[in-house]
Amino acid sequence: MFSRYFVAAVLLASSAWCAPQLTTIQDTLYVADGTRFNGTLTIRWRTFDASDTSTIAMQGVTVQVANGALSVQLVPTANSVPAATYTVTYNSAGKYQFQEAWSVPVSTTPLRVRDVRIGTSSTITPATGSNGSAVSGLISGTVEESDVNGLVADLAARPVSGPGLVPGRVAVVNDLGALESADGNPTDCLHVDGSSGPCGSSDGAGVGQVSFVDGEALTGIVDGANRSFTISGSPTPASSVAVYRNGLLQKIGQDYTFSGQTVQFVSAATPRRGDTLLASYRISDNSTQTPLPSPQVLCTGNGGSVTATAFASLGSCVIPASLLATGDRVEVRLDFEHQGSVSGFTFALHWGATTVLQRDGGATDSRIAVSANAGLWASGAQWSFQSWGSALAFSAGLGTASDDYTSGLTIDIQGKVSASGDALVLRSYSVVRVP
C-alpha cells in the first residue's frame, strides 16, 4: 500500500519538475483617445527548444483583453534553440490589426509589453501600455480585400478603365460601363451618345447644331392698332421663342400666340406707339436662314433742352466710318417734353445732311414721341418715320437720303420754341443698329 503512494508521489513530482518555466506578461492597454483597449491578442510561434530543453511545438493561442487588462504566461524565448520570437496580432472589433514581435526573457516577476517587444518599425499607435508605450509594431503579411469591411463592395461600385481610355481626352462610358476616351479630331464636337463629328454636322435625324437669335426686332407697324408681327427665322423648337415688350418678357397664351413666324398679340396686350418689340429663339443650322447677330446700341441717353427761338442741337449720335454696311437698319427713338404753355415749338431729326423729319407742336402739347428707321442701300438709305403728341396728330412719312454712311455719319436732333418762356426738352433718345 505504502509503495503505491510513494510511486504516485514520485510520478507527480517528476511531472511537475518536467513542465517548462513560464514568464508572465501583464499590462493595461489603452487606445489613443484614452479609453481602454478591448479585443484579442493572437500569439503564434514556431517550434523551438526552451532553455530547459523542453520542446515547444508550433502553435498559437488567443488571449482576450477586456477593459485593457492583459495577462498571459509564455515560455521564455531569450535563450531558446533556435532563437525564437512570438508574433503577436492585435484585433479590435474586427477593424484593426497590428503585429509586433515579442522576445520573452526568464523572469520570476510579471513583465510589461514594453519589456518583451522587439523589432518595432513603421509603427501606428492605436493603443498604449500602462506605462504609455505604444501597442504597435511591425506590420507584416498580406491583408485580403475581403478582410476589410465594405472594401469589395466599394471596389465593385467604382468606374473601371476600359481598353480605350487615353489620358487627356474626354471620357465616355462604353456599353459595359467602363470608361474610355472619345474618338475624333481635336476640333470635333461630342454628342451625348459618345460619338463625335465636325461641329454643326447633322446627327442623321435632320437636327444639326443649334444656333441662337437674340434680340431680333419684330417686323410690323407699331401704331397702337396693329397686333400681328413676324420674325425672320423658323424657331427650332417653336417653344424656344421668347418675346419682349419694352424689355418685359411676354407670356405666350396670355399676351400673344405664336404660329410659324407670326407673333399675334391679344387685344388686351396690343402694342402701343413707341413700344420696342424684340424676340429671341433657337434655330437649327441645317435650316435655310442664317442666324442674325444681336442688335447694337450705338447711342442712348438723355438730351438737352432749349428755350431759344433758334434751332439748337439737343442730342446727337456720331457713327464712325466703316461701322454701317449695306443691308443694315438703323432705328431711332425720341421722346420730347414741352414745358410751359405760352407758345409752340419745333423739333427736327437730321440724317447727315438730310432732314428726315421736322414738325411743329402747339402750346397745349406736353409730350412728343418719334420713331424713325433707315434701311441702308449701297449708295444711301431709305428712311421712314412716325411721330405723334399729346395733342399733335399722328403723322408718318418716308424718303431717301444719299449721304455716304461708309465715311461716318452724324444723326442730329434739334429743337426750338416759338417764344421765350417755354422750354423743349429731349427726355431720352436711342440709336440702334440692326445688322
For the chain, the structural domain boundaries read: 17-128, 159-199, 210-284, 296-434
**The model's pTM:** 0.38
The answer on pLDDT for 10 being more than 50 is: no
pLDDT of residue 6: 44
Q: What are phi and psi of 9, to 5 degrees?
A: -65, -40
Give the pLDDT confidence score for residue 148 in this predicted structure: 76
Buried-state track 98-112, b at ≥16 Cβ within 10 A, e below 16: bbbbbbbeebeeebb
Write the CATH number of the domain with boundaries 210-284. Answer: 2.60.40
**pLDDT for 231-240, tens place per residue?**
988 888 888 8
128 pLDDT higher than 70? no
pLDDT of 18 reads: 64
Q: What is the structure's pLDDT at 204?
A: 44
Q: Is the pLDDT of residue 207 over 70?
A: no
| CA-derived radius of gyration, the chain | 48
Show Cβ contacts of residue 177 under 8 Å, excluding neighbours closer than 6 positions. 159, 160
> Residue 331: pLDDT band by 50, 70, 90 thresholds?
very high
Q: How confident is the model at residue 129 (pLDDT cuts 50, 70, 90)?
A: very low
Quick one: pLDDT at residue 294? 65
**In percent, how much of the chain has pLDDT > 90?**
47
pLDDT at residue 243 tops 50: yes
d(CA 335, CA 330): 17
Q: Over pLDDT 70: what percentage of the chain?
A: 83
Give the pLDDT of residue 293.
59
Three cell numbers, residue 429? 433718345
pLDDT of residue 130: 47
Mean pLDDT, residues 406-414: 93
Q: How far apart are CA 349 and CA 332, in angstroms?
A: 9
Average pLDDT of the chain?
A: 83
Cα separation of 161 and 177, whole Å? 9
pLDDT tens-digit series, residues 162-187:
777 878 778 888 877 788 888 777 77
The pLDDT of residue 75: 93
Match 506578461 to its residue by C-alpha cell. Answer: 25
Residue 421's alpha-carbon distances to 123, 306, 311, 339, 366, in angstroms, are 98, 11, 16, 9, 14
Q: Which range (22-36, 146-160, 189-203, 256-270) has the least confidence?
A: 189-203
Of 268, 291, 264, the closest CA to residue 277 belongs to: 264
Q: How confident is the model at residue 119 (pLDDT cuts 50, 70, 90)?
A: low
| Contact predicate 13/5, CB 8 Å | no
- pLDDT at residue 245 in the model: 92
Would the CA dihedral through 43, 47, 50, 56 be positive or negative? Answer: positive
Which residues 6+ apart lie within 8 Å of 188 measured at CB?
A: 196, 197, 198, 199
Band of pLDDT at residue 323, cut at 50, 70 and 90: confident
CB 429 within 8 A of CB 315: yes
* pLDDT score of 136: 42
Q: How far apart are the two ends of the chain, measured CA to CA in Å?
A: 132
Neighbour count for residue 318 (Cβ, 10 Å): 12
Cα separation, 85 vs 119, whole angstroms: 10
Q: Which residue has the higher pLDDT, 332 or 209?
A: 332
Domain 296-434 listed as CATH 3.50.50.60: no
Tell which residue, 82, 78, 29, has the closest CA to residue 55.
82
Given a cut of 70, whether residue 367 has pLDDT beyond it is yes
Chosen CATH of 17-128 out of 3.30.420, 2.60.40, 1.20.1070, 3.40.50: 2.60.40
Residue 374 is predicted with a pLDDT of 95
**Topology alike, domains 17-128 and 210-284:** yes
Residue type, 97: Q
Structure confidence by residue, pLDDT tens digits, 96-118: 667 889 999 999 999 999 999 98
Q: Label residue 200 left, alpha or beta by phi (over 0 means left) and psi (-120 to 50 means alpha).
A: left
Q: What is the pLDDT of residue 198?
A: 66
Cα–Cα distances in angstroms (integers) from residue 220 to residues 135, 194, 297, 333, in the given order: 88, 45, 20, 16
pLDDT at site 258? 93
pLDDT of residue 206: 44
pLDDT one-digit tens code per residue, 248-283: 899 999 999 999 889 999 999 999 988 889 999 888
